[in-house]
Amino acid sequence: MAVILLALMVAAVGCGGGDQQVAEDAIKIGIQGPMSGPMALEGQGFLKAAQLLADQINEQGGLLGREIVIVPGDDKSDPKESALVAQKMISSNVVAVIGSYSSTATEPAANIYHEAGILHITPSSTATPLSEKGFERFFRTCFLDDRQGLFAAQFAVDTLGLSKVALIHDNTTYAKGLADWTRIYLEENGATVVYYDAITPGEKDFSPVLTNVKGVAPELIYFTGYFSDGGLLVRQARELGIECLIMGGNAMNNSDLVKNAGLQYAQGVLVTTEPVPTDLPYAEAQQFIADFEAAYGTPPQSIWTLSGADALRVVVEAIAQTGSDDPAVLAEYLHNEMGDFPGITGPITFDEKGDRLGTIHKAYEVDAEGNFVPYEG
């Protein structure tokens, strides 16, 4: 018995050393996110975006003449797996880690990266408490929940002139956070929230919830969850005969929304979001979408894929500008020197907490051809 157990242990420990062979001076960047499980789309989006950009840079001779190597880590969006992935990233000597997807998975990893002194950028964890811990090398390329909530509330009350709002989220950290902030700001602005409940993501039939929504007759439905559920929600709402305006958060900003809902239903749906890539004056944004589609056959399916690409571009920019791969130098640069970096999701500037400055949210409307166009009343 002892012999077998010892053998097992040796096997377990011995495998630690077997990392794949890469050029010795390669710059390693970790991509942490859910690559399997229900959220796999998001983590694989990070990975695809990062790999695409890294390949492009490597083809052109690399960064500072060195190869960029992407180190993937699948945390299934689970805090425990996240802690393990973080330890694994550290032992593979990465310069920076991009991830994780959900705030709950990012939290334990942030502690570990902080202790190891690694640059850590999350493209999608929008929970406000994450940046309250004073970690100097923690950044995010997403905007926090409260800013979009404020925008959505003001837009609904001031621009649209509506006062009866139904809020629907999907009980994920992100969507619930956005719904909660929107509720606070709506009430501050004198509107009433006539309905507040969650759907289960991945569900196919939302008519029980919508039948209730219909009963309270709101002027606006604001859904803070994802396009995959949102498309069905829009379609089923219209099928049930709900005629009011429907608006979504930035996770609804996806061309598949129109496909999921059907064009005749999606038309007139609003979204509050960072400017859509095709509207950005930057050539990089359109270039990225085109390259992504050329490489993988589909355009990026989630807004966070773009945010993930921005995270990598920010790291690359910092390394290129400082000529260093020391996380301390890079963090210093990102905090103090980088201003209005032309990101895919808009200009990027970080504040002293590592949060992204400014709000660039806008309202978009789905037009008769199924395109997202700026809302003009």
Partner 1 sequence: MQEFLQQLVNGLTMGSVYALVALGYTMVYGILKLINFAHGELFMLGGFFGLTWLTASAFSGLLKSPLLGLLVLFLLVMAMVAVIGVLLDRVAYKPLRRSPRLTAVVSALGASIFLQNAVMLVFGSGYLVFPDVARDIYWMVGGVKITLMRVIIFLVAVCFMVGLYLLVQKTQLGAAMRAASLDHDTSRLMGIDVDKIIMLVFVIGPALGAAAGLMVGLYYRQINFAMGWTYGIRAFTAAIMGGIGNIPGAMIGGLLLGIIETLGAGYISATWKDAISFAILIFILIWRPTGLLGERVADKV
Partner 2 sequence: MKERLRNIRNRHHWWPLVLLGAGWFCVPLFANSYWTDVANFFGIYMLLGLSLNIIVGYAGMFNLGHAAFYAVGAYTTAIINTRFGIPLLVLMPIAALTAAGFAALITRPVLHLRGDYLCIVTIGFGEIVRIALINNPFGLTGGPNGVLGIDRPALFGFTFYQPGHFFYLIWVIVILVMFGMRRLENSRLGRAWNYVREDELAAEAMGIDATNMKLLAFILGAGLAGIAGTLYAGKMTVIAPESFGFWESVVMFAIVVLGGPGSIPGVVVGTFGMFVLPEIFRGFSSARMLVFGAAMMLMMIFRPQGLWPSQRVLRVRQAEGLESQGSAAGRPA
Q: Is 373 helix (H, G, I), strand (E, B) or coil?
A: strand
By C-beta, is 79 or 262 nearer to partner 1? Answer: 262
CB of 99 to partner 1, least distance (A): 16
CB of 41 to partner 2, least distance (A): 12
Residue with tokens 């355009």: 299
Q: Cβ(123)–Cβ(308) under 8 Å?
A: yes
Burial 170-198, CB ≥16 within 10 A → b, else e: bebbbbbbbbbbbbebbeeeebebbbeeb
By C-beta, is 43 or 218 nearer to partner 2? Answer: 43
Residue 32 is encoded by which pair of tokens?
């942490």
Q: Cβ(115)–Cβ(138) under 8 Å?
A: no
Distance, first Cα to last Cα, the chain: 76
Query: Could you give the C-alpha distances from 71 to 91, 96, 98, 311, in angstroms and in order?
Result: 11, 10, 10, 15
**Does residue 56 belong to the site contacting partner 2 (CB under 8 A)?**
no
CA-angle at 22, arms to 305 and 20, nearest 5°:
85
Among candidate residues 256, 258, 255, the one with its CA nearest the CA of residue 246 = 258
CB of 156 to partner 2, least distance (A): 24
By C-beta, is 160 or 199 nearer to partner 1? Answer: 199
**Does residue 192 belong to the site contacting partner 1 (CB under 8 A)?**
no
Q: Please enumerate in sequence order all residues whose Cβ is within 8 A of that of 227, keeping only pairs 6 or more positions apart, or say none.
A: 248, 251, 252, 253, 254, 256, 257, 260
By C-beta, is 254 or 273 nearer to partner 1? Answer: 254
**Does residue 293 belong to the site contacting partner 1 (CB under 8 A)?**
no
When binding is defined by CB under 8 A, the residue of 27, 46, 53, 73 that contacts partner 2 is 73
Taking CB under 8 A as the binding criterion, the range among 17-25, 56-64, 98-106, 209-217 that sits at the site for partner 1 is 209-217
The Cα 169–Cα 333 span in angstroms is 37
Among candidate residues 73, 89, 174, the one with its CA nearest the CA of residue 125 = 174
**Does residue 231 belong to the site contacting partner 1 (CB under 8 A)?**
yes
CB of 292 to partner 2, least distance (A): 18
When binding is defined by CB under 8 A, the residue of 14, 59, 65, 204 that contacts partner 1 is 204
When binding is defined by CB under 8 A, the residue of 129, 208, 241, 281 that contacts partner 2 is 129
**5 interacts with, out of partner 1, partner 2, none, CB within 5 to 8 A per kind:** partner 2
When binding is defined by CB under 8 A, the residue of 87, 93, 128, 298 that contacts partner 1 is 298
The Cα 58–Cα 29 span in angstroms is 13
**Does residue 183 belong to the site contacting partner 1 (CB under 8 A)?**
no
**Does residue 343 belong to the site contacting partner 2 (CB under 8 A)?**
no
Binding mask 86-115 for partner 2 (x = CB under 8 A): -xx-xx-----------xx--xx--x----
**Does residue 8 belong to the site contacting partner 2 (CB under 8 A)?**
yes
Other C-beta atoms within 10 Å of 283: how many?
9
The Cα 310–Cα 342 span in angstroms is 9
By C-beta, is 86 or 289 nearer to partner 2? Answer: 86
By C-beta, is 108 or 218 nearer to partner 2? Answer: 108
Interface ranges with partner 2 (CB under 8 A): 1-3, 5-6, 8-9, 11-13, 15-16, 20, 35-36, 44, 72-74, 77-80, 83-85, 87-88, 90-91, 103-104, 107-108, 111, 127, 129, 171-173, 176-177
